[in-house]
Structure 1
Amino acid sequence: MAAHRVAVSVEPADLGSYQQAARLMLLHGVVTESYPRSKALGLVLRWADELAKDFRDLFGYSLQASARHARLLRRLDSFDAGQAFLTVKSKRPFDRRRLAYLCLILACLHRSRIEINLADLVKLLTPYANAIEHLGFHATTPGHKDAVVDVMDWLVDRGALRISDGSTEDWARDHDRGDALFDIEHDTCAALFRPNKPLQHLVSAAGLLDTPAAGTGRDPRRRLAAQRARRMLIEYPVVYFSDTDAETAIALRQPTLAEDIARLTGLPVERRAEGITLVDTTGHFTDKRFPGRGGAINRTAGLLLAKIADLREDPNRSGSLQYLLPPDPGEEHADLLSRIDLALPQSGTLEALAHAPSLDTGYLADDSDAEVSEPPAQTGLPFVEHGALEQMISELYEEFGPSSFTSKWQADPSGLLAEGLALLADLSLVHAVPGGILVRPAAGRYRNITAVLPRAAHDGQFALDFSPEDTAR
């Protein structure tokens, strides 16, 4: 039997515990005494040495652990629009204001002692926020106090702060009389914001990405491609061979990749002709559960996939479908990067230490490059026009009744359609393009989806089985 390359020193009886600790770190990034749950930190610390080695060897990640927290420092190969912090209560993505307030509040906490009340923290925050054009903070401006409360709840949830008196709700209702007192966990605050490079040294967000240095030889490039392939498999719902470069596609097809990831996580790797995915059989190793019971957006997205499958399988309608090539992933990423860079400040960069990402974007070719095959060819994907999608959502509302889609969405089918398609795009099941969507190959696995099918209600009508908490939204 070949020796394992992952969890080498872990006994078979302890492998399940090790894999649970690995999934915790990969999913949450930060584990503290209270986040994501009690006893999670103890489990991670038990396997900290083994995890640190495997994360470094497999992904190039760094695991930093102390008695009060564990932090996984990732290396990014690309940016994507699906990366987001979520509010604790509503589970909505942080907007730009909340992200800015989070950074400023962490900076203010760094300059504070062991405790601080919210009123004093806001006094520290206000001049910094007002010094930034289009940001600002004023307690009477709609949305500003709500953004601060969401940030404070996020920090409390992760154990960076602990409420010892009062509440953020009291302050939000009346900032002149209400207040909250927080104990500060400085080590956790420092762990939450730890970029790979000093931001003052960057002239572009591309400097945060992991790019091989110019002149990298064939063998180092292959090792880097293997690391990149493993990172993609862990970080994304599905990886399509046609979306990667040739060396990464070769690494994704290697049997050792599936063996290593399966042993690390305890989850099976599924490979198809078009790509590869890590299947979450636990139901807890993802930030976006799909399909799922409950949630108007989640279940509507599943019903849309069923409608799309019916369209593709209907002999009378499938012939009218167009098949279009998806946009080039490199061009899309370059466009996203340019939009991120638009928000960079015009001053404050230390020019003498500035990192120029253009110096790291490639390698010097050598004779061995001829052995690398061409990237996998792109194939046409079914194009579903926006008008057809609107017809699908209208049919769902007619079939189940507007009230089945909760009070939030019963009068807004277009909004629910947009949110459902955004979820499917985040899951790499569809790709949004002007005028509609392209249906990606992994959507085919849900053509017989049953988790979102209606059930009979007591009155004989069919209704969507939403969870109680969702109906209150």
Structure 2
Amino acid sequence: MCAHRVAATVENTDLGAYQQAARLILLHGVITEHYPGSKALALVQQFSDELAHDLRDLFGYTLQTSARHVRLLRRLDAFDDTQALLTVKTRRAFDRRRLAYLCLILACLHRSRIEITLADLVALLAPAANAIGHLGFDATVPGHKDAVVDAMDWLVDRGALHISDGSMEDWARDHDRGDALFDIDHDTCTALFRPNRPLQHLTSARGLLDTPAAGIGRDARRRLAAQRARRLLIEHPVLYFSDSDAEMAAALRQPSLAEDLTRLTGLPVERRAEGIMLVDTTGHFTDRRFPGRGGAVNRTAGLLLAKIADLREDPARAASLPLIADTDPAQDHADLLERIDLALPATGTLEVLADAPPHPSQRGSDDAPGGGEAAAEHGTEAARLPFVAASLLHQMITELYAEFGATSFTNKWQADPGGLLTEALALLADLRLIHRIPGGILVRPAAARYRNITAVLPRPAADGQLPLDFLPKDTPA
């Protein structure tokens, strides 16, 4: 009998390589001959059978392999805004225009042969973009060509396209004279866009989510809740019991969950009274390393947490942070779904094949997550979290500029403390360390992990000004 459920057939001497392969496919989703590195595809293919079994058993994911790429098909439990596509050069999140151009470019490539010039591709893209209200494409409009270049760079980086002649930069400077010729890898293009359901069959974005069928038994609900708990923990930095329904909270408390994820990824799982965290001790299993050398935004976010911790630990000033009940995550997600559905096109849906999953309010109480007897046994209630008003946050950023000197915050931010504060709070919200609400923020429990973050700052420089930088060896989290 196997001692472990995960990596059951992997030898102990190969376990480290298996865990590296698991982290690679979970982080990147698509592995090709060139992305994310020249050796990544061979490593993942070496353990493809074991990974396919474990990913299906633990998360319900499907691993598709071929000689030239490996693709992980995830199942979504909820939408969130933390998993963005990033530009290759600047590592900034794709905006809506870049996302739209990327989808249209992939559609154009699907109808093309083995190679295409950038000029011909744009000739196909322009009418498709101009047919969409408020999108459009005009090479003379600032930002349109840059968005095309960023989308093309993203495809080149993943091996879907290969530049055989010319330059995209030449085209961006002068689209009448410059051009580039691309070889198309249709297999990779297909792997990059694989929705779980045909989009033309959906009348709501809710249809993209993994929604258990109504009427399933208690044991099946518990298995699905455990699977959902593993999925959320692998996708997010931290999970809070107060954000979970009763059955998922019970699954998060099971020792087997931590054992399975640790054996799969090689990363430790930390348990606290408020929730559970998968800790990235490698520093490479995340798209948002914190703390670290991530620029002024990353470091300012850490310093803000330190200032908030000082307030909370000072008896004389702690009263300035009142405790407020956190918002209902289920209601927040329902509101998000409604906003997404408002943007769905009114035409193009195949009504005969349309898939309209039931709204959560239409499901019976026995079928709702956490309903019935389980809710009574493991019920959770909204946590009361410290509230930091926006005015106090602006006071903190002003104090940081006075303490470290404006020039410590780089040329981009030295005259814009308000903009830096906004970006730092967005990072902390993505990491689930704070929750932004009107008028300020709610400080979530995991933020206390970084209360001593200023201890890693070096000593002041000779001129008395503190350099805003961390030590070379950052503490991964």
Q: TM-score, normalised on structure 2?
A: 0.95
Structure 1: distance between partners of 2:462 and 2:207: 59
Q: Unpaired runs of 5+ in structure 2? A: 473-477
Residue deviations 1:176-205 (CA, integer Å, cap 9, x gap): 110111111100000001000000000110
Change (3 A) 1:168 1:466: farther
1:82 positional shift = 1.4
Partner of 1:285: 285
Residue deviations 1:73-123 (CA, integer Å, cap 9, x gap): 100000012121011111111111000000000000001111111000000
| 1:58-207 equivalent positions in 2, closer than 5 A | 58-207=58-207
Partner of 1:40: 40
Change (3 A) 1:111 1:18: same
Structure 1: distance between partners of 2:460 and 2:180: 48
Q: 2:373 aligns with which of 365, 370, 375?
A: 370
Would you say the 8 A contact 1:455–1:464 is kept in 2? no
1:167 positional shift = 1.1
1:359 positional shift = 6.2
Partner of 2:466: 462
Partner of 2:407: 403
Aligned-pair identity in percent equals: 75
SS at match of 1:463: coil
SS at match of 1:357: coil
Q: Does 1:424 align with 2:428?
A: yes
Q: Does 1:412 align with 2:420?
A: no
1:217 positional shift = 0.6
1:321 positional shift = 1.9
Which of 311-320 and 412-421 deviates more? 311-320
Residue deviations 1:302-348 (CA, integer Å, cap 9, x gap): 00000100111112110232100011001100111111111110101
Structure 2: distance between partners of 1:211 and 1:169: 45
Would you say the 8 A contact 1:215–1:364 is kept in 2? no
SS at match of 1:378: coil
Structure 1: distance between partners of 2:252 and 2:432: 17
Q: Does 1:380 align with 2:384?
A: yes
Name the aligned partner's letter for residue 415 of structure 1: G
SS at match of 2:358: helix
Q: Unpaired runs of 5+ in structure 1? A: 469-473
Residue deviations 1:349-403 (CA, integer Å, cap 9, x gap): 111111112167746738x942552531222100000000000000001111111
SS at match of 1:456: coil
Partner of 2:247: 247
Structure 2: distance between partners of 1:37 and 1:57: 27
Structure 2: distance between partners of 1:433 and 1:311: 20
Name the aligned partner's letter for residue 121 of structure 2: L
Change (3 A) 1:270 1:110: same
Name the aligned partner's letter for residue 66 of structure 1: S
SS at match of 1:417: helix
Would you say the 8 A contact 2:306–2:454 is kept in 1? no
Change (3 A) 1:266 1:451: farther
Partner of 1:471: none
Which consecutive aligned stretches of 4+ in structure 1 deviate over 2 angstroms post-superposition? Answer: 359-366, 368-375, 450-461, 465-468
Partner of 2:339: 339
Partner of 2:475: none
SS at match of 1:71: strand
Structure 2: distance between partners of 1:113 and 1:2: 50
Change (3 A) 1:262 1:335: same
1:454 positional shift = 4.7
Name the aligned partner's letter for residue 306 of structure 2: A
Partner of 2:328: 328
Would you say the 8 A contact 1:291–1:452 is kept in 2? no
Name the aligned partner's letter for residue 304 of structure 1: L
Would you say the 8 A contact 1:294–1:466 is kept in 2? no
Change (3 A) 1:387 1:41: same
Structure 2: distance between partners of 1:416 and 1:299: 11
Which of 228-237 and 444-453 deviates more? 444-453
Would you say the 8 A contact 1:6–1:54 is kept in 2? yes
SS at match of 2:453: coil
Residue deviations 1:23-46 (CA, integer Å, cap 9, x gap): 000001011111111110000000
Would you say the 8 A contact 1:216–1:363 is kept in 2? no
Partner of 2:303: 303
Would you say the 8 A contact 2:237–2:278 is kept in 1? yes
SS at match of 2:154: helix
Q: Does 1:439 align with 2:443?
A: yes
Partner of 1:31: 31
Q: Does 1:390 align with 2:391?
A: no
Structure 2: distance between partners of 1:458 and 1:117: 56
Structure 1: distance between partners of 2:465 and 2:97: 44
Structure 2: distance between partners of 1:362 and 1:197: 22
Partner of 2:4: 4
Name the aligned partner's letter for residue 172 of structure 1: A
Q: Does 1:272 align with 2:272?
A: yes
